[in-house]
C-alpha cells in the first residue's frame, strides 16, 4: 500500500512535466517565448494574436500599432515593437511613391513613425496633381477653342463649294425652283435664314423675281500676334422667271475672295497685301473649277479667255460659270452660274 501511495505523486509529476513540455513546444513553434504567453492576460493575448493572424500586411501592421498603443508594457510588447521596427520602413518605402500608397500608409498607421513625412509628401503630390489637372484642363479648353476656330474657318470654303456644287446640277434648272432636288431646295428655301424675294430688273423679263438669302460666317484670324474677328458673307441670289424657273444664280459677297484666303491661312489680309488678295482669287478659281469639273466637265475645252475683272469663265454642255473679282469699293466678288434653257 505504501508503495502504491509513493508511485502516485511520481505519476502526477510526470503528467505535469508532459503538459509543460507541450506548452514549451507550441511556444517555440509560434516564435513566442513561453513565459510571456503564460503571464499574459486574455485581452493582452487577443490583441497580440491579431498581429499574427490578420490576413493582410496592412492588418498585421495596424494590429501591431494598436497593440503597442494599448499595451506599451504588455507581455508581448518587445516582440511586437521589434516586428514593427522591421516591417514599417519596408512598407512605407513601398507606398511612398504615390498618393494612393501614402493614403494607404496613413490609414494603416495613422501614428506611424513616418506619418509627418507621409503627410507632407501626400499634400505635395495632391497639390502637384491639382496643378497638373488645371494645366491639362486649360490645355483641353485651348485645344477645343482652336478646333472650333479651325472649323469656323473651314466652313467658309466648304459653304461656297457646297453652293457651287448645288447649282451646277443640271436637274436644278428648267423647272420651278420649288421642284428642284432636295439638295438645292432644303438649304436654299427651308433652312434659315429664309430667302427674301423682290421683283427683278425689267430686262430679266416680265414677272421675273430675285430670291436671295445672305449667309454670315464668322471666324477668327491672327493680326499682329492677336486674334481678330472676321466675317465672310455669301449672298445666294437666284433670278427666276415668271414660272419660278432659275435663270441665273449669283454667289457673291463683299471681299468674299479675300475672306477665303484669310480663312485658309488664318492670317489677316490687309488692303495693301496684293499677294493675299491674289491668293484668295486663286482659291475661288480653284473651288469653282473643281465644282464645275465634278458636275459638268473637266475638259480643257470648257475654258474661255478672260479679261479683268473676270478671273474665270467656264462653259460646256449649256452650263456657264463666270467668276469676277471686285475692282472698285462697294463691289462684290462673285461667281455666277447659268444654264441654257432646254430646246423647245
Q: Could you read off the pLDDT of 99-113 as tens digits, one per residue?
A: 899 999 999 999 999
Q: How confident is the model at residue 4 (pLDDT cuts 50, 70, 90)?
A: very low
Q: How confident is the model at residue 37 (pLDDT cuts 50, 70, 90)?
A: low
pLDDT of 74 strictly over 70: yes
Q: How confident is the model at residue 228 (pLDDT cuts 50, 70, 90)?
A: very high
* Assigned C-alpha cell, 123: 499634400
How far apart are alpha carbons 279 and 274 in whole angstroms?
8
Q: What share of the chain is helix, strand, coil (3-state, %, to 5)?
A: 55, 20, 25
> For residue 212, what are the β-bridge partners?
196, 237
* Arithmetic mean of pLDDT, 203-215: 95
Q: Tally DSSP H helices, then E strands, for the chain.
A: 10, 7
CA angle, residues 36, 42, 44, in degrees to nearest 5 = 60
CA angle, residues 20, 30, 64, in degrees to nearest 5 = 125
Sheet with 246-253, side-by-side order of all strands: 196-199, 209-223, 226-240, 246-253, 333-339, 319-324, 310-316
Q: Which ranges constitute the DSSP H helices of 204-307?
A: 256-265, 274-295
With cell 498603443, the residue in question is 69
Residue 32 φ then ψ, to 5°: -110, 145
In the predicted model, what is the mean pLDDT of the chain?
Answer: 87
How far apart are alpha carbons 280 and 263 in whole angstroms?
9
* Arithmetic mean of pLDDT, 170-194: 94
How far apart are alpha carbons 252 and 7 in whole angstroms?
129
* Arithmetic mean of pLDDT, 192-215: 94
User: What was the pLDDT predicted at 129?
Assistant: 82
In the chain, the percentage of residues whose pLDDT exceeds 90 is 72
pTM of the model: 0.65
CA angle, residues 62, 67, 69, in degrees to nearest 5 = 95
Neighbours of 312 (CB within 10 A): 21
Q: How confident is the model at residue 26 (pLDDT cuts 50, 70, 90)?
A: very low
pLDDT of 339 strictly over 50: yes
pLDDT of 306 strictly over 70: yes
Amino acid at each position: 500500500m505504501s508503495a502504491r501511495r509513493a508511485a502516485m505523486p511520481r505519476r502526477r509529476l510526470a503528467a505535469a512535466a508532459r503538459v509543460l513540455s507541450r506548452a514549451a513546444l507550441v511556444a517555440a513553434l509560434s516564435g513566442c517565448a513561453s513565459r510571456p504567453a503564460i503571464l499574459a492576460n486574455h485581452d493582452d493575448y487577443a490583441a497580440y494574436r491579431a498581429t499574427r493572424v490578420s490576413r493582410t500586411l496592412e492588418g498585421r501592421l495596424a494590429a501591431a500599432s494598436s497593440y503597442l498603443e494599448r499595451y506599451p508594457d504588455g507581455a508581448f510588447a518587445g516582440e511586437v515593437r521589434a516586428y514593427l521596427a522591421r516591417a514599417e520602413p519596408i512598407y512605407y518605402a513601398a507606398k511612398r511613391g504615390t498618393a494612393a500608397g501614402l493614403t494607404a500608409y496613413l490609414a494603416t498607421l495613422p501614428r506611424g513613425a513616418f506619418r509627418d513625412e507621409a503627410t507632407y509628401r501626400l499634400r505635395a503630390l495632391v497639390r502637384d496633381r491639382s496643378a497638373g489637372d488645371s494645366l491639362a484642363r486649360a490645355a483641353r479648353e485651348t485645344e477645343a477653342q482652336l478646333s472650333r476656330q479651325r472649323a469656323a474657318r473651314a466652313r467658309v470654303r466648304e459653304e461656297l463649294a457646297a453652293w457651287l456644287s448645288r447649282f451646277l446640277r443640271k436637274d436644278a434648272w428648267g423647272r420651278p425652283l420649288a421642284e428642284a432636288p432636295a439638295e438645292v431646295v432644303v438649304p436654299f428655301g427651308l433652312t434659315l435664314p429664309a430667302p427674301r424675294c423682290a421683283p427683278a430688273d425689267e430686262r430679266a423679263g416680265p414677272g421675273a423675281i430675285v430670291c436671295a438669302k445672305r449667309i454670315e460666317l464668322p471666324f477668327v484670324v491672327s493680326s499682329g500676334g492677336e486674334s481678330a474677328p472676321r466675317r465672310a458673307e455669301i449672298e445666294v441670289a437666284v433670278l427666276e422667271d415668271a414660272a419660278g424657273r432659275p435663270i441665273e444664280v449669283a454667289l457673291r459677297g463683299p471681299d468674299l475672295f479675300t475672306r477665303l484666303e484669310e480663312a485658309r491661312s488664318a492670317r489677316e489680309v490687309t488692303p495693301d497685301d496684293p499677294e493675299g488678295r491674289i491668293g484668295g482669287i486663286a482659291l475661288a478659281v480653284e473651288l469653282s473649277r473643281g465644282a464645275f469639273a465634278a458636275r459638268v466637265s473637266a475638259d480643257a475645252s470648257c475654258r474661255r479667255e478672260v479679261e479683268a475683272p473676270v478671273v474665270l469663265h467656264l462653259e460646256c454642255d449649256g452650263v456657264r460659270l463666270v467668276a469676277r473679282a471686285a475692282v472698285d469699293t462697294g463691289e462684290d466678288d462673285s461667281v455666277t452660274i447659268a444654264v441654257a434653257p432646254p430646246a423647245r
